[in-house]
Structure formats: structure tokens, C-alpha cells
Amino acid sequence: MKANENIILIGGGGHCKACIDVIETENKFQIIGIIDVPEKLGQVILGYKIIGNDDNIPDFAKQGYNFLITIGHLGNPNQRIKLYDIVKENGGLLPVIISPIAHVSKHSSILQGTIIMHHALINADAKISENCIINNKALIEHDVIIEDNTHISTGALINGNCRIGKNCLVGSGVVVKQLINICQNTIVGAGAVVVCDIVNSGIYTGIPAKKKDNE
């Protein structure tokens, strides 16, 4: 990969700002602009202009640009998945972004479109799939599997041999005990402690984590 390849960010909110900081620190990509809603065209975020909207993604993708989805989970990953699929279907490139102040084991595996943010730790034989967010100070221990479109939030601790399914959100400060499986489409609220497998999708909170009554 050549230094300072061009990259376009998709989504101009708060998560975008955090991603910009990681990309600037990594210094492998030059951000050429951000895609957001039409009414924000021309606005500037941390020095980078909004250059188009979702309808422009196919045109940019066909020109061979790199992309990163920089909208957050928003309670569900549907918008991230939709935009990610548009980029892939049109031949856009989706590199892995890794903060140089994260630690990523050379024995781990990280797939396209994923960002590893500042001070995250990815240990040996961890496998992180496509379009994931491993946020600041998250710990992914040995032999953990994180499936597609999942967001591991700030300071979350995923202990050894766990598996987190597709489309999950693991909130800030969550602790997941070793050997735990969490099924797809699950939200684990901030500060929860998961000590048993989660086999039914829903929202889980508390210590130990339990499914919310209204779910």
C-alpha cells in the first residue's frame, strides 16, 4: 500500500471526527472529503469538506477510491451495512485502518472496512470480520471472533475464546467473561457484565447482564 492513498469518509458525525484523528495519526491515507446528507454539501469537518451524498458513492467507487464508513452504530447497524454494501457493489476499496497507538498482534486477522482505534488491544489469534469498529481502549483477547458489522465500544473487555455475532453493539465498559458466545443482533448496554451465553437477540444490561423486560 502506497503512503497517502486517497480515502473518502462516509458519514460526518461525531464518530467521523474520531476516525479522522485515527487516519491522520496512521498517516497512510489522505482524506479527500466526506460524504453526508445533501443539505451539508460544502460544510467542513476538522478541515475536510463534505463533497457529496450517498448518491455519489457509485461514481467515486468506480474511480477506485478507498472508503471508510464513519457513521456510528446508531442503535442498529443497518445504515452502516447499507452504505458498506453500496461501496462493495461498485468496486470501492475498503482498507483496514489501524491506529499506530493500538496494539494488534501479528497473529490476529482483521478484515476489510474495519477500524482499530487508539489504544485498542487485539491479541493473538483474534479474528475481526468486515465493517467493524473496535473503539478506543477496547480489549479483544486471544482467540476471540468478532463477526461482521459489530461495534466494540470504548473500554469494553472481551476475554479469551469469546464469539460476538454479526451486527452487535457491545457498550462502553462492558466485560464479557471468557468462553462466552453472544448471538447476532444483540446490544449489550454500557457497564454490563456478561457471564452466560446470550442466545436470543435483544438488549441486555446490568451485572450480570439480563435481557430488558420490554424486549
Would you identify the CATH topology of the domain 98-215? UDP N-Acetylglucosamine Acyltransferase; domain 1 (2.160.10)
Note the pLDDT of residue 75: 79
Q: Give the span between the Cα atoms of 78 and 185, in whole angstroms.
A: 10
Per-residue exposure over 80-103, b if at least 16 CB sit within 10 Å of its own CB, e if not:
bbebbebbbeeebbbbbbbbeebe
Per-run averaged pLDDT (10 residues), the chain, 215 residues: 77 96 96 96 96 96 94 88 96 97 98 98 98 98 98 98 98 98 97 98 97 75
Q: pTM of the prediction?
A: 0.95
At residue 213, the pLDDT reads: 77
pLDDT of residue 168: 97
| CATH number of this structure's domain 5-89, picked from the four choices 3.40.1380.20, 3.40.50.20, 3.40.190.10, 3.10.150.10 | 3.40.50.20
φ and ψ at 10, to 5 degrees? Answer: -115, 105
What's the confidence (pLDDT) of residue 214? 64
Secondary structure element (H or E) that encloses residue 85, with its range: helix 78-89
Non-local (6+) Cβ contacts of 122 within 8 A are 102, 103, 104, 105, 108, 110, 116, 128, 134, 140
Cα separation, 12 vs 191, in Å, equals 27
Parse the chain into domains and list their residue ranges. 5-89, 98-215
